Amino acid sequence: MSPQRSGSTRSGGANALLYMLAGLGCLALLVVVLLVGAAISMRPGQAPAVPATPVASVVTPTGGPPSAWYQVYFTQPKNPDDGVHTGGLDEIVAAGIGQAQQTLDVVTFEFDSLPLANALIAAHKRGVRVRFVMDSENIDTDAYRQITKGGIPVVTDDRNAFTHSKFIVIDGQRVWTGSWNLKDSDTYRNNNNLILIESPELAANYTHEFEKMFVKRQFGPAKDSDTPYPQLTIQGTRIENYFAPQDHVADHIVQVIQKAQSSIRFLAFSFTNDQIGKAMVARAQAGVNVKGVFETRGGDTAASEYGRMKKAGLDVRLDGNPYTMHDKVIVVDESIVITGSFNFTAQADTSNDENILIIYQPDIAALYLAEFDKIYRQAKP
């Protein structure tokens, strides 16, 4: 994840097309044929073909060509897990890493993906500056040992709180972020989302955040709130970008919720923040249609907002994935998406290192709503 400071936004259409094609090129032959065929033939509003084998689903931007400035991805968890772990987000992101020419910065909470470790080492060997930050709690993996042995410099967060952000920035131009850790189970068992955005300004934001951790060794409350472009516009789409704890992320989320007029949908791995929970209940009582899915583990506990929302009459469910529903997503009025690493908890807001995007774009919202509907149908009322 190496965002670098740049002055002007370019369309990035050609680069994004090349990038996506390179990502798809690593998939099994059958999957490549299916996905490329879908990308070529799909018209706005037409659903992509369903792969014959379970792989990470590659979602083509609604109403736009594959050369758009963003791409959205969702995992497709295997249940039961057949042990065949190929064709997923790890390989797609590894192919993207393979396109890096100059710089590559990575932040993750967990890391055990050998395909990604191999991709990072290969980039390092061909002269790309690769830097890596992760939480010290999760370094006991072969993938971590492999990159350190391969000469990639790593900084770990040794605090009691966590470096929980997940982002990758390539060549100061492209940013990957979402709920997905660089981890095998997060790729093939757990529900996760990932978005790729082409934008030098957004990359500058993430580079600035990265260098606080990697260069200055600043984590958590030690960091200043000085993101270069907290609000930016990419091809007419407004985006807000915040980092916890310095930017008081929960306040920004609540402000969006309080303006909801028709609907709120959310997916929550962990949701214990009363401020956000109360804002949703208040909008529901004002007539806004609110639906949500909680990860079952920890969802039905005294600390969770699940019970309070259920008591207030909101349509909330516990997820149906026997592994983990790891998303952290809110969609408001079918037009605004809140996504990133940020769980809806006090610790995420005040102690952890986290990031979120607030994206004002109905086409992108439609992609996340489709994923919500799938998870909602599988959840337990």
Catalytic residue chosen out of the listed positions 124, 212, 223, 326: 326
Asked if the bond preceding 245 is cis, omega within 30° of 0, the reply is: yes
Check residue 246 and give left, alpha or beta (phi > 0: left; psi -120 to 50: alpha). alpha
**Dihedral sign from CA coordinates of 338, 278, 376, 80:** positive
| Segments in the chain forming alpha helices (H) | 13-24, 29-41, 89-97, 114-125, 142-149, 184-188, 200-214, 249-258, 274-285, 296-299, 305-311, 346-350, 362-378
Catalytic residue chosen out of the listed positions 171, 223, 328, 353: 328
- Spatial CA neighbour of 134 closest among 155, 151, 150: 155
Angle between helices 29-41 and 13-24 (to 10 degrees): 150
Q: Catalytic residue at 183? A: no
Q: Catalytic residue at 328? A: yes
Q: Are 369 and 193 in contact (CB under 8 A)?
A: no
Single-letter residue type at 336: I
Catalytic residue chosen out of the listed positions 274, 315, 333, 363: 333
Tracing tokens 């990159």 back to the chain, one arrives at 147
DSSP letter for each residue of 175-239: EEEES--B-HHHHHTSB-EEEEEE-HHHHHHHHHHHHHHHTS---GGGS-S--S-SEEEETTEEE
| CA 206/CA 167 separation, integer angstroms | 8
CA 377 vs CA 40, 191, 253, 262, 289: distances in Å: 30, 14, 25, 21, 17
Query: What is the token pair recorded at 2?
Result: 């190496």
* Residues annotated as catalytic (active site), given as ranges: 326, 328, 333
